Amino acid sequence: MACTTQSASEYVRSARVHLERELKNLSVIVENLYQQGVFSDEEVSEIKAEKHDFEKNRNLLDSVRSKGEAACYEFLKIINMTRKRTLEKTMHYWISCFPFREDTQMDTNYLQGSRPCHQYQAKLKSKAHKISNEFWKSNKSLFEENKPDLSYSSLVLDTQGSPSPSKIKKFKNKKSKMSRPKKMKTYIPEDRSEMSPSKLLELNEDILLVGEPGIGKTTLSHELLKLWAERDSKKLDYMFYFDMRETSHITKDMSLEDLLFSVFSEPDEGKEEVLKDIKKYSDNVTIIFDGVTHLSSSVVQRIVEKDLLPDAKVIVTCRPDDEEDLFSGDSLRVEVKGFSEQSVRTYIAETLGEEQGNVLRNVELLTLCHVPMYALMVAACFSFQTPEDSPQPNSVTEIYINIVRHCLQINSNKTTNRHLDLFIKSKREEILSLAEAAFHATEGKTVNMTEFQCKDSCVLSFLKTLDNKVGSTKTVTTYAFLHYTMQEFFAALWLLKNPDKIKDVFQQCLTEEKKHMKHLIPFMCRLLTEESPSLMKCLIPDQQLKKTSEWFLEEMINTFSPHLCKKDEAGTDDSGLDVDILFYCQCLYESQCPEQCVDFLDRLDYDLDLSGESLSPYSCCAVAYVVNQSSKRKIWLNLEGSELSEQGMRRLFGCLQNVQCSRTTNRGVRLQEQEQCRWTPERKSKQLLLDLCLKAALHKGESFHDVVNTLFSLFSVNTDLNNILLDFYQHVVSERSLSVIPKLVTLFQSAPAVWSINLSERKSSILLEVLKLTSGKKQVKLTGCSHEESEVRSFLQCLPHISQLR
Ligand SMILES: Nc1ncnc2c1ncn2[C@@H]1O[C@H](COP(=O)(O)OP(=O)(O)OP(=O)(O)O)[C@@H](O)[C@H]1O
Q: Is 485 in the pocket of ligand 1 (CB under 6 A)?
A: yes
How far is ligand 1, taken at its centre, from the CA of residue 43, in Å?
Answer: 55
Q: Is 217 in the pocket of ligand 1 (CB under 6 A)?
A: yes
pLDDT on residue 187: 29
Mean pLDDT for 496-512 is 93
H-state helical runs in 715-804: 721-734, 741-749, 764-773, 789-796
Q: Is 337 in the pocket of ligand 1 (CB under 6 A)?
A: no
User: What are the C-alpha distances in Å from 30 to residues 26, 122, 428, 468, 737?
Assistant: 6, 21, 68, 41, 65
How far is ligand 1, taken at its centre, from the CA of residue 622, in Å?
Answer: 22
Mean pLDDT for 370-399 is 74
Q: Is 139 in the pocket of ligand 1 (CB under 6 A)?
A: yes
Mean pLDDT for 11-34 is 86
Residue with CA at minimum distance from ligand 1 atom 24: 213
Question: In ligand 1, which atom is closest to the CA atom of 291?
Answer: 27
Question: In ligand 1, which atom is closest to the CA atom of 216?
Answer: 18
Q: Is 215 in the pocket of ligand 1 (CB under 6 A)?
A: yes
Please state the φ and ψ torsions of residue 259, each to the nearest 5 degrees: -60, -50
**DSSP result, 115-130:** HHHHHHHHHHHHHHHH
Q: What is the dihedral of CA 98, 101, 102, 107, to 10 degrees?
A: -100
- Residues in a beta bridge with 318: 210
Residue 724 has pLDDT above 50, yes or no: yes
Q: What does the angle CA 93 – CA 94 – CA 99 come to, to the nearest 5 degrees?
A: 105
CA gap 805, 143 in Å, rounded: 68
* DSSP conformation class of 337: -
* Contact in structure between 211 and 335 (CB atoms under 8 Å): yes
How far is ligand 1, taken at its centre, from the CA of residue 123, in Å?
Answer: 26
Question: In ligand 1, which atom is closest to the CA atom of 211?
Answer: 21
Q: Which residues contact 242 (CB under 8 A, 6 or more apart)?
A: 250, 259, 263, 264, 287, 288, 289, 290, 300
Residue 450 has pLDDT above 90, yes or no: no
Closest to 725 measured CA to CA, from 753, 694, 700, 762: 694
Helix (H, G, I), strand (E, B) or coil at 805: strand
How far is ligand 1, taken at its centre, from the CA of residue 487, in Å?
Answer: 15
How far is ligand 1, taken at its centre, from the CA of residue 42, in Å?
Answer: 55
Question: In ligand 1, which atom is closest to the CA atom of 215?
Answer: 21
Q: Which of 373, 399, 481 to mutate to test the pocket of ligand 1 (most atoms within 8 A of CB)?
A: 373
Q: Is 211 in the pocket of ligand 1 (CB under 6 A)?
A: yes
- How confident is the prediction for the chain on average, in pLDDT? 77
How far is ligand 1, taken at its centre, from the CA of residue 240, in Å?
Answer: 19
Q: Is 516 in the pocket of ligand 1 (CB under 6 A)?
A: no
Band (5; pLDDT cuts 50, 70, 90): low
Question: In ligand 1, which atom is closest to the CA atom of 338?
Answer: 8
Residue with CA at minimum distance from ligand 1 atom 20: 214
Question: In ligand 1, which atom is closest to the CA atom of 153?
Answer: 3
* DSSP conformation class of 150: -
Residue 433 has pLDDT above 50, yes or no: yes
Residue with CA at minimum distance from ligand 1 atom 30: 373
Mean pLDDT comparison of 182-196, 345-359, 468-482, 688-702, highest-scoring range: 345-359
How far is ligand 1, taken at its centre, from the CA of residue 305, in Å?
Answer: 27
Residue 629 has pLDDT above 60, yes or no: yes
Q: Which of 149, 152, 218, 321 to mutate to test the pocket of ligand 1 (most atoms within 8 A of CB)?
A: 218
pLDDT on residue 664: 40
- Residues in a beta bridge with 287: 240, 314
Band (165; pLDDT cuts 50, 70, 90): very low
How far is ligand 1, taken at its centre, from the CA of residue 218, in Å?
Answer: 6
Residue with CA at minimum distance from ligand 1 atom 25: 213
Pairing mode, if any, of strands 607-609 and 463-470? unpaired
How far is ligand 1, taken at its centre, from the CA of residue 371, in Å?
Answer: 8
How far is ligand 1, taken at its centre, from the CA of residue 98, in Å?
Answer: 49
Q: Which residues contact 173 (CB under 8 A, 6 or more apart)?
A: 612, 665, 666
Residue 581 has pLDDT above 70, yes or no: yes
Q: Is 333 in the pocket of ligand 1 (CB under 6 A)?
A: no
Mean pLDDT comparison of 373-382, 548-557, 747-756, highest-scoring range: 548-557
Least confident of 155-169, 176-190, 346-360, 758-772: 176-190
Band (708; pLDDT cuts 50, 70, 90): low
Please state the φ and ψ torsions of residue 45, each to the nearest 5 degrees: -60, -40
pLDDT on residue 184: 29
How far is ligand 1, taken at its centre, from the CA of residue 294, in Å?
Answer: 21
Q: Is 216 in the pocket of ligand 1 (CB under 6 A)?
A: yes
Band (779; pLDDT cuts 50, 70, 90): confident
pLDDT on residue 41: 85
Residue 186 has pLDDT above 80, yes or no: no
Q: What is the pLDDT of residues 351-381, one digit of tens each?
A: 887 767 667 766 667 777 888 888 888 888 7
**How many C-beta atoms surround the C-beta of residue 770 within 10 A?**
23
CA gap 179, 748 in Å, rounded: 26
Band (181; pLDDT cuts 50, 70, 90): very low
Q: What is the dihedral of CA 744, 749, 750, 755, to 10 degrees?
A: 100
Residue with CA at minimum distance from ligand 1 atom 17: 218
Residue 3 has pLDDT above 80, yes or no: no
Question: In ligand 1, which atom is closest to the CA atom of 136?
Answer: 31
**DSSP result, 63-79:** HHHHT-HHHHHHHHHHH
How far is ligand 1, taken at its centre, from the CA of residue 383, in Å?
Answer: 19
Q: Is 320 in the pocket of ligand 1 (CB under 6 A)?
A: no
Q: Is 155 in the pocket of ligand 1 (CB under 6 A)?
A: yes
Closest to 483 measured CA to CA, from 315, 351, 371: 371
Residue 600 has pLDDT above 80, yes or no: yes
Question: In ligand 1, which atom is closest to the CA atom of 155?
Answer: 1
Sheet strands side by side (includes 607-609): 607-609, 635-638, 659-660
Residue with CA at minimum distance from ligand 1 atom 13: 373
Residue with CA at minimum distance from ligand 1 atom 18: 216
How far is ligand 1, taken at its centre, from the CA of residue 126, in Å?
Answer: 22
Tell which phi-psi region holds residue 605, choosing left (phi > 0), alpha (psi between -120 and 50) or beta: left
CA-based radius of gyration for the chain = 33
- Which runs of E-coded beta strand occur in 434-505? 463-470, 474-481
Q: Is 497 in the pocket of ligand 1 (CB under 6 A)?
A: no
Least confident of 460-474, 503-517, 599-613: 460-474
Mean pLDDT comparison of 374-388, 503-517, 576-590, 697-711, highest-scoring range: 503-517
Q: Where are the domains of the chain?
A: 8-113, 117-131+195-336, 339-385, 565-716, 741-806
Q: Is 275 in the pocket of ligand 1 (CB under 6 A)?
A: no
Q: What does the angle CA 647 – CA 652 – CA 653 come to, to the nearest 5 degrees?
A: 95
Q: Is 707 in the pocket of ligand 1 (CB under 6 A)?
A: no
* Contact in structure between 23 and 86 (CB atoms under 8 Å): yes
How far is ligand 1, taken at its centre, from the CA of residue 428, in Å?
Answer: 29
How far is ligand 1, taken at its centre, from the CA of residue 227, in Å?
Answer: 17
Residue 384 has pLDDT above 70, yes or no: no
Q: Is 222 in the pocket of ligand 1 (CB under 6 A)?
A: no
Mean pLDDT for 557-576 is 62
Mean pLDDT for 10-26 is 86
ipTM above 0.90, yes or no: yes
Q: Is 288 in the pocket of ligand 1 (CB under 6 A)?
A: no
Q: Is 214 in the pocket of ligand 1 (CB under 6 A)?
A: yes
**DSSP result, 613-649:** -EE-HHHHHHHHHHHHT-SSS-EEEE-TT-EE-HHHH
Question: In ligand 1, which atom is closest to the CA atom of 219?
Answer: 18
How far is ligand 1, taken at its centre, from the CA of residue 771, in Å?
Answer: 52
Residue 729 has pLDDT above 50, yes or no: yes
Q: What is the pLDDT of residues 270-297, one digit of tens each?
A: 899 899 999 988 999 999 999 888 787 8
Least confident of 77-86, 567-576, 645-654, 794-803: 567-576
Q: What does the angle CA 518 – CA 405 – CA 590 come to, to the nearest 5 degrees?
A: 35
Q: CATH: 3.40.50.1980, 3.20.20.70, 3.40.50.300, 3.30.70.260. Which one for 117-131+195-336?
A: 3.40.50.300
How far is ligand 1, taken at its centre, from the CA of residue 33, in Å?
Answer: 46
Q: Is 291 in the pocket of ligand 1 (CB under 6 A)?
A: yes
Q: Is 319 in the pocket of ligand 1 (CB under 6 A)?
A: yes
Q: Is 114 in the pocket of ligand 1 (CB under 6 A)?
A: no
Q: What is the dihedral of CA 518, 210, 691, 739, to 10 degrees?
A: -130
What percentage of residues in the chain have a pLDDT greater than 70? 74
Topology of the domain comprising 8-113:
Death Domain, Fas (1.10.533)
Q: Is 373 in the pocket of ligand 1 (CB under 6 A)?
A: yes
Residue 317 has pLDDT above 90, yes or no: yes
Q: Is 664 in the pocket of ligand 1 (CB under 6 A)?
A: no
